[in-house]
């Protein structure tokens, strides 16, 4: 799979912390500062990791989306989804939800009743992927995929494993259907590996794990919570675990998300949860949500009550 020409890192961005949804903290490397769009990727949020006490877990009560896709990937904890089209799902560790908001949806993403009651570890990711103009008003669609339906690739030396959420690695193809060509990979390595990514794609790598990793032809060291932007030239990205294990047995396992996609190359007009091509389309989305065109979800008052109670409990305990 390796090629002589290797891609290199052109920029490294350290995620900033900010409060989102009903009051939870995310680490966000994209958008950040002057780097606000990695076509077709609009946003990357690292949710947690956090350990909630009983009654402390919060999520994102009812809110709208239009014109793009949200991708949620859970590592720990549980997220419960409801929407204005009557859909409902429970995302557990290892699950992925690929939601095409399209013409518009009102939905909520809340911790499960069990997580609220008992507390526990919570960690995951949400990625926003843009849609081309021709697909921005398609009917909303959900792809809820359990971990047993997400394939893994393993290198010949057994030191690298890659969960193929979207795209293809070494003949292992994802089960998720995407509107534009996308790679979404969870790469874990204790050695070194060269990953082929088509050179016409924009690519980036996010380190969500404490162990650092070397990336690219110049072995740029990427620490936890840092995002590496990859040059589009060449068709292979080199990865190498960077930190020795304490027992001298080899390298500590490095874990990163790899995102790559074919650029859409269209104008982007965005306002909060709406991403369209023109300001007129944004104005229409705002009008539609204000007039009730997105519908309603039963139980909205109860979800807000749970959120307020959880925030009061965390604030009393001096937690974020």
pLDDT in tens, 259-278: 999 999 999 999 999 999 99
Task: Determine the pLDDT at residue 2.
Answer: 42
| pTM for the whole structure | 0.95
Q: Is 46 in contact with 208 (CB distance < 8 Å)?
A: yes
Task: Determine the pLDDT at residue 3.
Answer: 43
Q: Of 107, 21, 109, which is closest to residue 65 (Cα–Cα)?
A: 107
Task: Determine the pLDDT at residue 98.
Answer: 95
Task: Determine the pLDDT at residue 232.
Answer: 85
pLDDT in tens, 112-129: 999 999 999 999 999 999
Q: Of 58, 65, 13, which is closest to residue 308 (Cα–Cα)?
A: 58
Residue 278 CA to its chain's centroid (Å): 25
Q: Dihedral sign, CA of 80, 176, 192, 196? A: negative
Instruction: Evaluate if residue 299 carries a pLDDT over 60.
Output: yes
Average pLDDT over residues 70-77: 97
Residue 179 CA to its chain's centroid (Å): 17
Instruction: Evaluate if residue 110 carries a pLDDT over 50.
Output: yes
Q: Could you count the other beta carbons within 10 Å of the beta carbon of residue 246? A: 7
Q: Is 277 in contact with 136 (CB distance < 8 Å)?
A: yes
Question: With pLDDT > 90 as the criterion, what percentage of the chain qualifies?
Answer: 88
Q: Secondary structure of 147-169 in the HEC alphabet?
A: HHHCCEEECCCCCEEEEEEECEE
Mean pLDDT of all residues belonging to the chain? 94
Q: Residue 245's pLDDT band (boundaries 50, 70, 90)?
A: confident
Residue 315: partners with Cβ closer than 8 Å, 6 or more residues away: none
Instruction: Evaluate if residue 226 carries a pLDDT over 90.
Output: yes
- Exposure string for 157-175, b = 16+ CB within 10 A, e = fewer: eebbbbbbbbbebeeeebe
φ/ψ of residue 123, rounded to 5: -160, 140
Instruction: Evaluate if residue 287 carries a pLDDT over 50.
Output: yes
Residue 66 structure tokens: 């239009």
Task: Determine the pLDDT at residue 1.
Answer: 42
Average pLDDT over residues 79-87: 92
Question: With pLDDT > 70 as the criterion, what percentage of the chain qualifies?
Answer: 98
């Amino acid at each position: 799979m390796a090629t002589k020409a290797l891609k290199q890192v052109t920029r490294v961005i350290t995620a900033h912390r900010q409060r989102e949804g009903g009051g939870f903290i995310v680490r966000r490397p994209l958008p950040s500062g002057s780097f606000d769009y990695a076509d077709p990727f609009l946003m990357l949020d690292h949710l947690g990791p956090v350990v909630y006490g009983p009654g402390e877990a919060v999520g994102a009560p009812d809110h709208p989306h239009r014109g793009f896709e949200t991708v949620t990937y859970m590592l720990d904890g549980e997220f419960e989804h409801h929407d204005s089209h009557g859909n409902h799902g429970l995302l557990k560790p290892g699950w992925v939800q690929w939601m095409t908001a399209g013409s518009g949806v009102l939905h909520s993403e809340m911790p499960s009743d069990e997580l609220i009651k008992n507390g526990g570890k919570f960690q995951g990711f949400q990625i926003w992927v843009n849609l081309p103009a021709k697909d921005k008003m398609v009917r909303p669609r959900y792809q809820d995929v359990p971990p047993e339906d997400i394939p893994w690739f393993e290198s010949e030396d057994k030191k690298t494993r890659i969960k193929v959420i979207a795209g293809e690695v070494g003949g292992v193809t994802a089960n998720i259907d995407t509107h534009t060509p996308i790679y979404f990979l969870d790469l874990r390595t204790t050695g070194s590996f060269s990953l082929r990514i088509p050179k016409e794609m924009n690519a980036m790598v996010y380190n969500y794990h404490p162990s650092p990793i070397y990336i690219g032809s110049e072995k740029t060291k990427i620490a936890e919570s840092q995002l590496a932007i990859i040059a589009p030239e060449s068709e292979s990205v080199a990865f190498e675990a960077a930190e020795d294990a304490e027992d001298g047995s080899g390298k500590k396992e490095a874990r990163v998300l790899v995102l790559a996609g074919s650029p859409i190359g269209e104008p982007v007009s965005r306002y909060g949860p709406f991403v369209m091509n023109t300001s007129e389309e944004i104005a229409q989305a705002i009008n539609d949500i204000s007039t009730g065109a997105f519908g309603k979800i039963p139980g909205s008052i109860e979800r807000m009550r749970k959120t307020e109670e959880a925030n009061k409990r965390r604030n009393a305990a001096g937690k974020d």
